Structure 1
Amino acid sequence: MALRDDGRIHARYLIETPLAPEAVAEVMAGEQSCGTFTRVEGETDALRARARATVVAIEELAPADVPSLPNALFERRNVRGPWRRAHVDLSFPVANVGANLPTLAATVAGNLYDLGEVTGLRLESMHVPASYRQRFELPRLGIAGTRRVTGVAAGALVGTIIKPNVGFSAAETAELVGRLCTAGVDFIKDDEISADPDHAPLAERVPAVMAVVRAHQQRTGKHVMVAFNITDETDAMKRHADLVEREGGSCVMASLNWCGFSAIQTLRRHTGLAVHGHRNGFGAISRHPMLGIGFQAYQTLWRLAGVDHMHVHGLQGKFAQTDEEVIRSAHDCFTPLAQGLDDAVMPAFSSGQWAGTVPATWAAIGRDDLLFMSGGGILAHPGGAAAGVRSIRQAWEAVRGGTSLAEAARGVPELAQALAFFGK
């Protein structure tokens, strides 16, 4: 769906149904605006003209042999296929929603997934008008601000994750962070399952970690950005963010799907720190091709909440997403949400990343405005963490200069070790 600005919210869906797609599209438009299964008293033509969603376009696709999802209504009525598929474009009046992010999500998604008329429905993409986008939060740091804070003017930001994911005390975590700072990383993040555990509560972990980060900065002039996982209930997240800021930190991380839109908006408005948006659980709402929400629509909603970084997984990584999906997701992060705006967020590549996945990343993305996060690729490097970091930087330097990794490795032992060890 092309970027447009006619003052309305636009959404594209993929549907599957044994009924006429045109009829189902009208049901969708009515259900998500001023209608229901039958016209009611007060639903005048004037009200419908003002408040009803509109079917903009329908593109029928090849049908399916079997339904993608069960449907008790069709089973009761003994309805059989063919199971027709189509793209449906709807537009919604902004006035129906206002600057209300949870209600926007309920409008473009909501009860659509429960419609009896479909055996599959997926929100694939959405676009908002510029005037509407400006009613929501912008990233506080985004790409340029993240580069400024970390002092990385060019090249990908090399990051890593605290490993083991859980189990370290605050002191042990700080010791690891100190070693990673010395190793030369730009960015360190907590794992999504380590927020405020009993064995390393944030009240102890943040001061301990930031003491070594500040000491490293005093020695070298380099500020390493640490994304502390402050996922919690809303008031607690605000307190955690305040602690990070008092200790000189620059970033907090939250598990978007489990905190919810309102909590992330509250956090964004409360703090000037970078908000690192972790999408764990995204597969539950995206992995089935005929159900849920595609990344373009997903990241649109969360960017309206004001996040600065968005996870996209990694190329040739350990998760189920195809490389094509990862590439599209990264480009979605770079694309303005509305015409004339500069509101890009920094994509975070992770999952099975190491020096050997750099060429595919560079070839697909064509720019290095990204977080390239490597856990095992740094911490399990046979030469140690510093050698792991150097191997990734050597890989980026090679591909940006048009040199193959094999050729570059002849003169740099860290990259050669990485290729020999992880390449197996």
Structure 2
Amino acid sequence: MTRGEAVKATYWIETPHELRRAAETMAGEQSTGTFVPVPGETPEVKARSGADIVRIEELEPAKTPSLPGAQPPKNADGLYRRGIVELEFPLHNFGPSIPNLMATVAGNLYELREFSGLRLLDVELPASFAQRYPGPKFGVEGTRRLAGVYGRPIIGTIVKPSIGLTVEELRLVVRELVEAGLDFIKDDELNANPTFAPLEDKVRVVMEEIERHADRTGKKAMYAFNITGDIDELRRNHDTVVRHGGTCVMVSIQSVGLAGLAYLNSFSEVPIHGHRNQWGMMTRCPALGMEFAAYQKLCRLAGADHLHVNALDSKFYESNGSVVRSVEGIRAPLFGGYACMPVLSSGQSAATAETTYRRLGTYDLMNIAGGGIMAHPGGPASGVRSMQLAWEAAIGGLDREAFAAEHAELRQALDAFSK
């Protein structure tokens, strides 16, 4: 049997052992080996299914471990060696299957006592994954078509309070938001199917307000309904949204899993808004978890049309450089396509548009502002208008201060939200 296609996985590691030995432990544990030699691990089996070490790059060592639990060798010198390790896994070990891929490239190796730090940096996937997973059905262009927005970002907001509104209280909030001229509105990740406001009732009320406004103005706002639930609920919840004329569904990717996302994508008739809540516990420690570079590829494969990336100067811990790299990663073609729209949210307002456009160099994104719209001194409609004006100035290369002098909504927003 020939090995054929393979998956390459790149890691940052920290270990009290020699880097070569640590890499061999990783390769063995995630393919044919275990903690002791076993009779069945013949040279033929290793040749057929063993992981190969492609590259080891030594980095500056540390004197203290990043994470507890590592067991140094008997002859330890007190250093914790750091390096970049690239492994290659034969595809026939697991096939073009995201769940089984994850068990291989991000499985038990995180628990191995040889390591005081381990992080998946990136994955390179063979063409078989593209044949198995068609990816986003709508992406940037399909989302723009449904939202009717071109030449600027899609401007949106999140329903607040995040949770607690009855359906009739929600009706009034949505009415105010669509009348303000928003392109996009989303449920908070906390609000999916509360017992006091069931999803069926929520969808009915929201779409009544959206359709009423669309009939009057011709503008139909896109609303991302949070349909997160058990696997058997996803189709039923999706169909509820589509039946009432909705144009977007949202799922918490970590909650439903990548397999759940792929299942939803197999029948979805509207864009899938991928929320990455819980991502912080997978990535915030720099010596553990994975980089967004790897994660976003898997999400796009599984069918996310939109994917959250935090935002520049947000309320979260993530650096601006990390956000920029995340957006660049999403925008880079995967298998020649798999276009996905970056979603920037947290701390957004008219005051952040200029920097965002300058750093990212694109307006093919969703710019979601909560307080930056709802807390505008002139009200939500002025908040929406201030965002539109700020992006008009940024894209057109206009002097923001001079432009704001001619537009009260932008001037008020800059005065209220500039740091």
**Normalising to structure 1: TM-score of the pair?**
0.95
Aligned partner of 1:177: which letter?
Answer: V
Asked if residue 384 in structure 1 is aligned to residue 379 in structure 2, the reply is yes
Asked if residue 332 in structure 1 is aligned to residue 333 in structure 2, the reply is no
The equivalent residue for 2:125 is 128
The equivalent residue for 2:204 is 207
Question: SS where residue 121 of structure 1 aligns?
Answer: strand
Question: SS where residue 119 of structure 2 aligns?
Answer: strand
Q: Which runs of 5+ in 1 are unaligned?
A: 1-5
In 2, the alpha carbon distance for the partners of 1:80 and 1:162 equals: 56
Cα deviations by residue, 1:123-148 (Å, 9 ceiling, x for unpaired): 01112123322211310111111011
The one of 348, 351, 375 aligned to 2:346:
351
In 2, the alpha carbon distance for the partners of 1:135 and 1:151 equals: 31
Deviation at 1:258, TM superposition (A): 1.6
The one of 90, 105, 109 aligned to 1:108:
105
In 2, the alpha carbon distance for the partners of 1:160 and 1:78 equals: 58
Question: SS where residue 82 of structure 2 aligns?
Answer: strand
The equivalent residue for 1:150 is 147
Deviation at 1:67, TM superposition (A): 0.4
Cα deviations by residue, 1:250-274 (Å, 9 ceiling, x for unpaired): 1111111122122222211132221
How many residues matched?
A: 416
Deviation at 1:72, TM superposition (A): 5.4
Cα deviations by residue, 1:263-317 (Å, 9 ceiling, x for unpaired): 2222111322211111111110100110011111111222221111110001011
Alignment of 1:210-289 (within 5 A): 210-289=207-286
The equivalent residue for 1:420 is 415
Which stretch shows the higher mean deviation, 272-281 or 401-410?
A: 401-410
In 1, the alpha carbon distance for the partners of 2:36 and 2:332 equals: 40
Deviation at 1:78, TM superposition (A): 8.9
Deviation at 1:80, TM superposition (A): 5.3
CA contact (8 A) 1:94 1:132 kept: no
Question: SS where residue 225 of structure 2 aligns?
Answer: strand
Aligned partner of 2:39: which letter?
Answer: E
Deviation at 1:153, TM superposition (A): 2.2
In 2, the alpha carbon distance for the partners of 1:319 and 1:197 equals: 27
Aligned partner of 2:366: which letter?
Answer: L
- Name the % identity: 47
Deviation at 1:71, TM superposition (A): 1.5
Question: SS where residue 149 of structure 2 aligns?
Answer: coil
Question: SS where residue 61 of structure 1 aligns?
Answer: strand
The equivalent residue for 2:397 is 402
Aligned partner of 2:21: which letter?
Answer: A
Deviation at 1:402, TM superposition (A): 1.2
Aligned partner of 2:201: which letter?
Answer: E
Deviation at 1:36, TM superposition (A): 1.6
Cα deviations by residue, 1:39-85 (Å, 9 ceiling, x for unpaired): 3223222322221111111111111121000115349x695521110
Asked if residue 87 in structure 1 is aligned to residue 84 in structure 2, the reply is yes
**Normalising to structure 2: TM-score of the pair?**
0.96
CA contact (8 A) 1:137 1:265 kept: no
Deviation at 1:27, TM superposition (A): 1.1
Question: SS where residue 406 of structure 2 aligns?
Answer: coil
Q: Which runs of 5+ in 2 are unaligned?
A: none
Deviation at 1:351, TM superposition (A): 0.5
The equivalent residue for 2:17 is 19
Aligned partner of 1:383: which letter?
Answer: G
The one of 116, 124, 128 aligned to 1:119:
116
The equivalent residue for 1:3 is none
In 2, the alpha carbon distance for the partners of 1:386 and 1:176 equals: 13
The one of 45, 48, 51 aligned to 1:50:
48
The equivalent residue for 1:62 is 60
In 2, the alpha carbon distance for the partners of 1:197 and 1:79 equals: 55
How has the CA–CA distance of structure 1 residues 395 and 155 changed in structure 2, closer, same or farther, with 3 Å as cutoff? same
In 1, the alpha carbon distance for the partners of 2:13 and 2:192 equals: 38
Cα deviations by residue, 1:189-232 (Å, 9 ceiling, x for unpaired): 00010111122211110000011111222222222111011111
In 1, the alpha carbon distance for the partners of 2:362 and 2:218 equals: 26
